[in-house]
Amino acid sequence: MASRRIVLEGQLCSRAMALGRARLVHPAHFVVDETPIGPRRVAPETRRFEQALADARAELAALRDQLSGPLMLELGEMLDAHALLLEDPAFIGAVRERISGERVGAHAALKRERDRLMAEFEAIDDPYLRSRGEDIEQVIGRVIAALYRDAEERIDPASLAGEIIVTDQVSPADLANWHEHGILGVVTTGGNPLSHSAILARNLQLPMLCGCQDALSQVHDGDVILIEGEPPRLVLHPDQNDQARFQAWQAQVARDAQRLGRLRKAPTRSRDGTDVALWVNAEREEDIREAWKLGAAGVGLYRTEFLFLQRAGLPDEDEQFNAYAAAVRAMRGRPVTFRTLDIGADKADRSGLALAQEPNPALGLRGVRLSLARPEVFAIQLRAIVRAAALGPVRVLVPMVANVRELRAVRAMLAAAVRDLASAGYELGERISLGAMVEVPSAAIAIDGLLAEADFVSIGTNDLTQYLLAADRNNDAVAGLYDPGHPALAFLIERVAVAARGAGKAVAVCGEMAGDPEFTGHLLRLGIRELSMHPSALLSVRQAVSAIDLGAAA
């Protein structure tokens, strides 16, 4: 009897392997009845639409609450953007008008409005803006699904425990939800390794394969499947050799974990004796406590926007101080670097900041630009950080810096905060270092001028790569152009490293590259000696550093 074994190629999102039974999650396909309705059906269909809207809003709110905490910053943006669309009076009014004017049912009215909006987005030349049509499609799809809820069997996430999900696409929210309920891995027919979902899978150390185009047509519920990373592929009906390879991988993982465990308190030093400082990126006190246990040099990037995005209004000075103070205490004398508020118009509404909508928020009023445009909000944040500095060493890191004038303005406001608090009788700590994020190409090109004002710099490779290559990593159409290994990015990283070393200033990399052991040697050879990453990556990077002979590499 011939073997049923089938191999399907895909793209690697997360290196871990998984062996288990498949659970197919098909995209929702509903048969929409376009039959005209009579006048008496207009009011009931309108009520059905409004109830479906309410159900969709409640579903989003419940999902947001369930995923609060460490994933809030990553997922809250998407969920809140979808919630805003469900409140849009233009959208709601257009659907109501179709029900009453075109005399069609709620499902048909929703479909027609979705098709109209999607056609408008498809006609946009800009790929970034065109990709935002996915939000429209997902939101309206959620409302349509709510209309059919009585007829559709809903998936209970708890029933997914111990299974490998096979689906077309997965949102970060669903991925986090399924992970919390114990799935073994995910295979998608679409997506790319640079999407938010793929990055989240890596942070969660969850096996994930994307771009596996034939998975939904070849795999059935209950089939035994194997996710492999090297090479990236899905094995359907794995044979004894496949299962033996998986068992060998499991044994290797156990050995690696034991070996990495021994590195928890070890110094981070290359094979030829070059010391490297490993910092962590954090937004929760739990991350910081873990970083301290792992022997991190400090917190290289504390995301302060988490405080602003998890509540309806703006956090006051005391609330911010309490959060920052907890971070400083948890690090027990090691430095904590607070990145000042890094949000733009796309997130401002849910932070209590009222800003006009922008056609391209990535190039708009965000980061330091927003902080300087709202000095009354920024001053409160700086005061809270200065107060926390009385408890331990603190640094301030300014995001989205494009020119030295912005950094000078921040330094002036920081100095004013110190003077005001001293006059008010607050206990103050040592001088607070002020640093700049290098994530805008102009900052990297004109780094000498920036270093004259900055005490240190930190290279944010995620945005720097995106802006340098003009490629949105979350847009499938151009994601292949987003290349952290591009020589132009290496040129800028080395330029910043050399300039910082010449000026006697510290320089770190805090983007996703910093936590990827495959890039460790590359960054060290470019002159980087400080890396800041998610705590889960610290031991793997420490191991990678110990294997490198920088003298031989040079």
Show me where the domains of the chain are located. 6-27+153-258, 39-147, 262-553
**What pLDDT digit, counting tens, does each position of 219-265 carry?**
998 999 999 988 899 999 999 999 999 999 999 888 877 777 777 77
Cβ count within 10 A of residue 485: 11
- What does the alpha-carbon distance between residue 291 and residue 305 come to, in Å, rounded to a whole number? 20
Dihedrals phi, psi of 9, to nearest 5 degrees:
-80, 150
Alpha helices (runs of H) in 148-195, residue ranges in sequence order? 172-180
The 10s digit of each residue's pLDDT in 263-305 is 777 889 999 999 999 999 988 777 888 888 888 999 999 999 8
The span from the CA of 105 to the CA of 91, in Å, is 16
Q: pLDDT tens digits, residue range 320-360?
A: 999 999 999 999 999 999 999 987 655 555 555 656 666 67
Given this structure, which CATH class describes domain 39-147? Answer: mainly alpha
Please enumerate in sequence order all residues whose Cβ is within 8 A of that of 85, keeping only pairs 6 or more positions apart, or say none: 91, 135, 136, 139
Mean pLDDT of 189-194: 79
Q: Which has the higher per-residue pLDDT, 119 or 218?
A: 218
Q: Tokens 């999900």: give the residue.
A: 165
Tokens coding 534? 């998610």
- Terminal C-alpha separation, the chain: 57
311 has a pLDDT exceeding 80: no
- pTM for the complete prediction? 0.66
Paired sense of beta strands 208-210 and 394-398, if any: unpaired
Active site (catalytic) residues: 196, 510
CATH of 262-553, one of 3.20.20.60, 1.10.4080.10, 3.40.50.1000, 2.40.10.10: 3.20.20.60
pLDDT digits (tens, 9 = 90+) for 418-464: 999 999 999 898 889 999 999 999 999 999 999 999 999 999 999 99
Q: Report pLDDT for 365.
A: 84
Q: 6-27+153-258: what CATH class? A: alpha beta
CA torsion, ordered 64, 65, 69, 73, to nearest 10 deg: 20
Q: Do domains 6-27+153-258 and 39-147 have the same CATH topology?
A: no
Q: Do 463 and 439 meet the contact criterion of CB atoms below 8 Å apart?
A: yes
